[in-house]
Amino acid sequence: MSDPSGVLHLRNLGLREYGPTWRAMQAFTEQRDEATPDELWLLQHHPVYTLGLNGDIRHMIRTTDIPVVKTDRGGQITYHGPGQLIAYVLVDLRRKNLGVRGLVSALENAVIGLLEQYGIVAKARRDAPGVYVDDRKIASLGLRVRKGCSYHGLSLNVSSDLSPFYAINPCGYPGLEVTSLTALGVAVQPHEVAAPLTVEIMQTLNYERVIPARG
């Protein structure tokens, strides 16, 4: 059997509801074994607020019609919606010899590298995972590890409507401002960002090739 550690299987899932996608990630992680290749799921979500495992609902500072889902990732409350590119990373951390902090750093560096391609200088913050441009958050991270394997991942604001963020303290930080690629003057859509982000993730996580997932 060939070594799966250098191969990343890619799924482009389009626009999806949050709940069924979350359950699919859980099922994939529960059923995988040491021979299962890692997967990267790229998608957008219908509007939803998600609250991390130990999240505080008091960070929802204004009621809206957007549903709130309590999920099993780390972190506080955030918003997902059309125009935001989601990258779920289903990685065998033991096989990659990675800890959670190493995976977070790799994903942050992938986004930083992507933004650099568009002439945007971004940085990570040790005290608050994610990627920032001039102290405005452009990408959020939240992960779960089960059986030594990760799921959930990152969300990058590409052409998002940012107004739903005004109803929350993003990621639990009162007054934290958010931004997007289009707000920074880069007129792109999530599908245009998907390929370069995949390449950046492939490089930061040391995969040799990316192939479409089957099934």
Q: Which is higher by pLDDT, 82 or 1?
A: 82
Kindly state which CATH superfamily the domain 4-212 is placed in: Bira Bifunctional Protein; Domain 2 (3.30.930.10)
CA 141, 119, 81, 93 dihedral sign is negative
The pLDDT of 168-173, averaged and rounded, is 94
Query: pTM for this one?
Result: 0.96
Catalytic residue among 171, 193, 197, 205: 171
Residues at the binding site are 73-80, 140-142, 153-155
The per-residue pLDDT for 1 is 43
Q: Is the model's pLDDT at 2 over the cut of 70?
A: no
Q: Is the model's pLDDT at 3 over the cut of 90?
A: no
- Residue-range domain boundaries for the chain: 4-212
Residues at the binding site for substrate are 73-80, 140-142, 153-155
Q: Are strands 123-124 and 84-90 parallel, antiparallel or unpaired?
A: unpaired
Q: Catalytic: 171?
A: yes
